[in-house]
Amino acid sequence: MRAFSFELRPTGLRPDNRGYRGTPFLTVAQNVKVKNKALEYYVGEMETFPTLSAGAVTVDMTMDWPFPQIFHSGDGIFICTRTHLYQLVYASGTWTITDRLAAYTGHNVNWPWTFADFPGTPVFASANVLVYYDRTDAAWYTYDKNNSHGGGSNWSSSWYQPVSICNFRGQYIAVGSKTTTTFPSQTRIIRWSDIGRFGWFGHTSDERSNEAGEMYVNADSDEILLRCLPLSTGIVVYGTFHSYFLRPVMDPPTYALDLIGGIGISNPLAVGGDEDMHIIVDRRGCLWALAPMVDPRNNDYMKPKRLGYEEFLYPLVQGCDPDTGTGMVSVVYNKWENEYFISNGTTSYLFNEEGLTQVQRCVSGLLDMKEVRLART
């Protein structure tokens, strides 16, 4: 009887489940990642964040998915949870820890944090509360219109706190609100600040400079803008049903809005990446990659690429409820390995440019101490 030799080169989980036979794709691939067209053992290359304390303050690193989130900038390390926003600063051989959410008592943060990395004036936005540093007052403020918790004067008391905020070339970009208002609803608003300061159109902007502005996306009133994230020459704004590309234009200096398509996300963390590429888990659990293309006129435009994997990712987006902060799918980009952890607190996948696999660790935040350049203590 003749015998045949057959070789299979496994390449990660299958992008769709249409039942092809004999493909190199897998239906289970646990604790591996695809690297150089092979599968190697991998659960996530990281050290456990240590317990930190200074004086009477101890940083609560208890995992309460999708918290704690970790950010860092020249103003220190920020560890954000449902009840705390710790700022860790290292100076003259000493660490100091300050809770910038200490004044916001009696309320929990369920919506995830987003961070605008502005040197000297960092800003954090959850749909529950806005936290910002006012350089003029030399003070941190917390603002929550829903609970009549007002702080500072640089954000209008008639506005709800934004769902997401980011820094794009020296301007704050803030989008959405979790609370629907009378037409036009603040859930669909995009605001951009003065250049270099936390000043907003219709409130504290310098109107002579004609830099700050706002617009509403042309969408159904059910649309909520959930995330803004810089990509190449502009900012991608992700909503519940659509995504948009906000690109700067001159004469006068302002922004124009292009519709990317019907890619909607379930919560602000369902997209991750850097200025070169975004990875998105849409509301149907489909994975997308968004990267800039260049048209013949040398203008960037955004072309989403459908990657699939609904079979594995749809269970992650089911049960996602940002209002209670439960079951939220989160995409955390590990730029040092160029990989993305896609997790909902109970299941975790790892995506890189070679494929998708499952790993044991649900990652809510990453920090490279070498990059932060903190001295050893």
Partner 1 sequence: MSVSFGDYVYGAYKTTSGVLSTQVLLKTEALDFGLGGLKSIMLVDTGIDLSGASTAIVEVMLEYRNSRIDAFATTSWIKCDPHGVAYPLVTALEFKVNVRASDITDFAIDSIRFVVKQPDRRFGRSDVRAFKAGFTEEER
**Positions in 330-349 near partner 1 (CB under 8 A):** 334, 336, 345-348
- Interface of this chain with partner 1, residues 87 to 106, rule: CB under 8 A: 94-97
Number of residues that bind partner 1 (CB under 8 A): 74
**Spatial contact of 346 and 326, defined as CB atoms under 8 Å apart:** no
Stretch that binds partner 1, among 67-75, 153-161, 191-199, 271-279 (CB under 8 A): 67-75
Cβ proximity to partner 1: between 184 and 336 the closer is 336
The least CB distance from residue 282 to partner 1, in Å, is: 23
Q: Which of 341, 237, 337, 336 is nearest to 279 (CA)?
A: 341
Stretch that binds partner 1, among 60-68, 188-196, 226-234, 255-263 (CB under 8 A): 60-68
- Give 26's contacts (C-beta < 8 A, 6+ positions apart): 10, 11, 12, 13, 14
Tokens representing 260 are 């990317």
Cβ proximity to partner 1: between 53 and 157 the closer is 53
Q: Which of 197, 333, 317 is nearest to 276 (CA)?
A: 333
Cβ proximity to partner 1: between 10 and 253 the closer is 10
Question: Measured between alpha carbons, how far is 285 from 266 in angstroms, rounded to an integer?
Answer: 9
Question: Measured between alpha carbons, how far is 62 from 42 in angstroms, rounded to an integer?
Answer: 24
The least CB distance from residue 7 to partner 1, in Å, is: 5
DSSP per-residue letters across 50-74: PP-EETTEE-----BTTB-EEEEET
Cβ proximity to partner 1: between 42 and 111 the closer is 42
Question: Measured between alpha carbons, how far is 371 from 362 in angstroms, rounded to an integer?
Answer: 22
Cβ proximity to partner 1: between 214 and 311 the closer is 311
The least CB distance from residue 374 to partner 1, in Å, is: 6
Question: Measured between alpha carbons, how far is 109 from 178 in angstroms, rounded to an integer?
Answer: 13
The least CB distance from residue 371 to partner 1, in Å, is: 9
The least CB distance from residue 66 to partner 1, in Å, is: 10
The least CB distance from residue 65 to partner 1, in Å, is: 7
Stretch (H or E) spanning 340: strand 339-343
- Interface of this chain with partner 1, residues 260 to 279, rule: CB under 8 A: none
Stretch that binds partner 1, among 111-119, 231-239, 297-305, 362-370 (CB under 8 A): 362-370
Cβ proximity to partner 1: between 52 and 291 the closer is 52
Query: Is residue 63 close enough to count as binding partner 1 by CB under 8 A?
Result: yes
The least CB distance from residue 352 to partner 1, in Å, is: 15
Tokens representing 302 are 């955004």
Cβ proximity to partner 1: between 257 and 374 the closer is 374
Residues 195, 257, 289, 374: which binds partner 1 (CB under 8 A)?
374
- Interface of this chain with partner 1, residues 6 to 25, rule: CB under 8 A: 6-10, 14, 19-23, 25
Cβ proximity to partner 1: between 65 and 301 the closer is 65
The least CB distance from residue 375 to partner 1, in Å, is: 9
Question: Measured between alpha carbons, how far is 225 from 97 in angstroms, rounded to an integer?
Answer: 33
Instruction: Round the CA-based radius of gyration of the chain to a whole number and report it.
Output: 22
Cβ proximity to partner 1: between 2 and 208 the closer is 2
Q: Which of 247, 279, 277, 245 is nearest to 259 (CA)?
A: 245
Cβ proximity to partner 1: between 79 and 109 the closer is 79
Question: Measured between alpha carbons, how far is 35 from 12 in angstroms, rounded to an integer?
Answer: 10
73: number of Cβ within 10 Å? 16
Question: Measured between alpha carbons, how far is 140 from 100 in angstroms, rounded to an integer?
Answer: 7
Q: Which 3 state secondary structure label does DSSP give 228?
A: strand
- Interface of this chain with partner 1, residues 18 to 57, rule: CB under 8 A: 19-23, 25-32, 37-41, 43-54
